[in-house]
Structure 1
Amino acid sequence: MENINDQPIEILVTIDQNYIKPLEVMIYSLKLNNLEQQMRIWIIYDNISTSALTALQNFGQKIGIQVEALAMNADFTFPESLLNLHDYPQEMYFRLLSGKILPSKLHRIIYLDPDILVINSIRPLWDLDLQGKMFAAAVHEGLTDIMSSINNIRLGTTTAYFNSGIMLMDLDQMRQKVKLDDLTDAINEHHDTLILPDQDILNYLYGEDILQIPETQWNYDARAYSVYLTRSAGEYNLEWVMQNTSILHFCGKPKPWQKENHSRFKALYLNYQQMTNNLTKAKK
């Protein structure tokens, strides 16, 4: 009988040239904490040099992860209203359109932002029953649910406000339901109230089609250690995080690889970064 672990977990990232080094750190953390699991990384990109892509693929080969790079389909023409919104790069929309770009043989995929560390197994997320939903994502609730209420008013939604940085995605449903015209229309309609364009659009258009997953396990906001500790009456301390959290997400700015960052988890990130740098410098 074929071992289920012989089937790769499919991972999607959408980055530009500026996030290649953080992506290497993320990939290495993913491998180190999922040693028994086969994985394949799909990179959807628009403007990354051939040499940088080759280096990423060589890095993946060195640690035993297949890296596939797909250029954004030239058939997608992004309107100026979308590209000029708060100067965010178009790569942020690639995740929502990935069903049209990735091979049809892929049926589900885990999207990961590059500014994360994977510190435990992601297999349970991959195996998650989506219960008919198109996405699974977490809500960063904080001590109260005020932000969800504000976003409900701002976007006219009725669901909690989901973070788009880590998502399990049903590609078959996305191929049917996600359309560039819908994204464009939503941006034109809510242009003045959008703060995080792709995340706002995800919630506005598809909030009803998202299954909520625990943030402390799958999308732990590295800025909010004190919030989680207080909310759990002291249970979610550092030992709990290291044993139970699978994905640490370094949301917002500054990032842990920048000097200004003083997150409680910065030292952990720098350790993974150092291991990654040592590996990339090592001779084959």
Structure 2
Amino acid sequence: MNTMACMPNTTRSPRRLVQERNSDMTTKPNIPIFFTIDEGYAPWLSVALLSLKENASPACRYDVHVVYHNMRPDTIERLSRIAGDDFSISFLPMTETMESITDWEGNYLRADYFTLTIFTRLFLPDMFPQYDKAIYLDSDICVPGDISKMYAIALEDNYLGVVNDYSIANVLELNHYVKDAVGVDKDHYFNSGILLMNFQAMREHHLASRFLDLMAKYHFDTIAPDQDYLNALCKDKVVYLDPTWDSMPCDLDEFENPQIIHYNLFDKPWCYDDVKYEKYFWDVAKRSDFYEEIVAYKQGYSDAQKQKDAQSLAQLVSRGNAIPDQAVTMRKVFESGQEARL
């Protein structure tokens, strides 16, 4: 597995420079990056892509794959314009496999929003067998750091490189859910929005089929569907990354040098004022082809929508408190020996 860091060679002689330029396409390490979105997240994805491209190391090539559900051709064309030298962007519609996952309450993201895209990351290793290692990113992000440094981190035989989800760990009311429903210590419960993925190991241990089997057999109630399955299945087989790779605007001081900013849950600068790390988002957004739409979206974000956000958060906490008492939970199934982890 190639974990080569994408650092430029500063010792080259001028005589060799032209020759090496001509061979860049074959010598530069390739970094595969995945997003999964639907039409509604296209404006935020434009900011993610721009920031990723602007801060990428020129010593690497980047193959960005956008796996989408229900996107208009003109939206795809606008996002495609962000591509450039050594930064390709391809678009792939979701397979019919994803259509078999039904819309039921336990699969809702943030307790109020269902989308098939939240499950797709679990199938990426099988959908793209040409890659042994890749990065998955949610689209509600900004990337002020050099993503190649994250890709260079060695995973060895672990499945994932992750960051603790301190937006959940710091919510006392949800600690009971994480420990007693998912079966993970709150300080080791990771966020699935930023993942360094060992595709090879996940294929070899059949992550996708294990997920589908468990979902069909138990229909676990969850508050973070794919995230909870990954935490339960991959427990103790992950590498914890520096938290700056998943900087979340929750109840922590801002990191001085965030590498990836993840505006998760309801902390989104295109909805609210005074969100931590918002300066990074707006600095890039003003260069986006979707900028006017982003501004209009924020201006039109109503008090009713904000009230719904507050209600959804309360609902998430309420469900999180109730789920551990159910007869069937991830923790009970795995700790009883009924099922084995990956």
Tell me the CA shift for residue 76 of structure 1: 4.9
Structure 1 contact 82–184 (Cα < 8 Å) conserved: no
Q: Given the superposition, is the C-alpha separation of residues 78 and 179 from structure 1 closer, same or farther in structure 2, using an over 3 Å criterion?
A: farther
User: Could you tell me how far apart the structure 2 residues matched to 1:77 and 1:114 are?
Assistant: 21
In angstroms, what is the RMSD of aligned CA positions? 3.1
Q: Is residue 2:154 matched to residue 1:140?
A: no
CA–CA separation in structure 1 for the residues paired with 2:193 and 2:180: 22
**Cα deviations across residues 98-156 of structure 1 (Å, max 9, x unaligned)?**
11212x22111110111111112122211111021011110033786965564121123
Measured after TM superposition, the shift of residue 28 of structure 1 is 0.7
Structure-2 residue corresponding to 1:271: 283
Counterparts of 2:147 and 2:207, CA distance in 1? 29
Q: Which moves more between the two structures, 170-179 or 142-151?
A: 142-151
| Residue identity in the other structure for 1:93 | F
For residue 89 of structure 1, what is the aligned residue in structure 2? 115
Contact 2:47 2:285 in 1 (8 A): yes
Match of 1:18? 40
Question: Does the CA contact (< 8 Å) of 1:221 and 1:251 recur in 2?
Answer: yes
**Matched residue pairs, number?**
263
2:101 equivalent to 1:79: yes
**One-letter amino acid matched to 2:269:** P
- Residue 223 of structure 2 aligns with an amino acid whose one-letter code is I
Note if 1:52 corresponds to 2:75.
yes
Distance between the aligned counterparts of 1:194 and 1:150, measured in 2? Answer: 9
Say if 2:278 is the partner of 1:251. no
Residue number in structure 2 paired with 1:198: 226
| Long gaps (5+) in structure 1 | 230-237
Contact in 2 for aligned 1:151/1:157 (Cα 8 Å): yes
| Paired residues of 2:48 and 2:143 also in contact (CA < 8 A) | yes
Cα pair distance change 1:163/1:278, threshold 3 Å: closer
- Relative to structure 1, the CA distance from residue 196 to residue 190 in structure 2 (aligned partners, 3 Å threshold; closer, same or farther) is farther
| Distance change in 2, residues 1:180/1:78 (3 Å) | farther
Q: Retained in 2: the 8 A contact 1:38–1:65?
A: yes
Please state if 1:114 is matched with 2:139.
Answer: yes
2:125–2:199 CA contact under 8 A, matched in 1: yes
Secondary structure of 2:65's aligned partner: strand
Q: CA deviation at 1:158?
A: 5.8
**Counterparts of 1:148 and 1:137, CA distance in 2:** 19
1:163-174 alignment runs, 5 A limit:
163-174=191-202
Deviation of the 1:80 alpha carbon: 2.3
Corresponding letter in the other structure for 1:132: D
Aligned partners of 2:118, 2:91: CA distance in 1, in Å? 16
Distance (whole Å) between structure 2 residues aligned to residue 152 and residue 174 of structure 1: 24
Alpha-carbon distance in structure 2 between the residues aligned to 1:179 and 1:79: 16
Q: Cα 1:261–1:194, aligned 2, differ >3 Å: closer, same or farther?
A: farther
* Structure 1 CA distance for aligned equivalents of residues 27 and 40 of structure 2: 33
Matching residue of 2:336: none
